[in-house]
Structure 1
Amino acid sequence: MPCISSFYGLLIYMYGDDHNPPHFHINYGGKWSVCDFDGNIIDGELPAPKQKLVSAWAEIHRD
């Protein structure tokens, strides 16, 4: 799975043709989470400040 972005210790990964619903994966401190394209966590957890960064990233990269 390719890393498409990295910031503040967050690593964002995404497959081009992964299963539905559309989502991306986040690695933070060796722990994995899965978010939808709105930045909502589907699986796993992140500290609240990091969740806000991921939501902002999702908003900026929505297109």
Structure 2
Amino acid sequence: MFYGIIVRMQSERGGKHNVPHLHAVYGEYEIVMSLSGEKLEGSFPGKQQKLLVAWIALHEDELKANWQLLCEGEGYFKIEPLR
């Protein structure tokens, strides 16, 4: 969580998104973003979406590693928030 943005990643075997992605919530807004920063679904206020995209870019390797762990049925590790 950073700047009121809650980020989560979950395993979605057979889910509707076939690309590695994360889910984020900010107040009543929800968005699904690919690990390359592309919006897949939902919406966010402009400033918060820019912050989320910047965080994804900074932590892309860690996010990909977490995605792989989740796909293998393993746990995940926490990633530093944007400061």
Provide, for residues 14-44 of structure 1, a one-character-per-residue CA deviation record: whole Å limited to 9, x for no partner.
Answer: 01x3242110000110322100012221100
Larger strand share, 1 or 2: 1
- Provide the C-alpha distance between the structure 2 equivalents of 1:26 and 1:47, rounded to a whole number of angstroms: 12
4+ runs of 1 displaced by more than 6 Å? none
Structure 1 residue runs without a partner (length 5+): 1-5
Please give the TM-score of this superposition, normalised by the length of structure 2: 0.63
Percentage identity across paired residues of the two chains: 37
Q: Structure 2 matches for 1:1-63, cutoff 5 A?
A: 6-15=1-10, 17-18=11-12, 19=15, 20-63=18-61
Larger helix share, 1 or 2: 2
Please give the TM-score of this superposition, normalised by the length of structure 1: 0.80
Structure 2 residue runs without a partner (length 5+): 62-83
Larger radius of gyration: 2
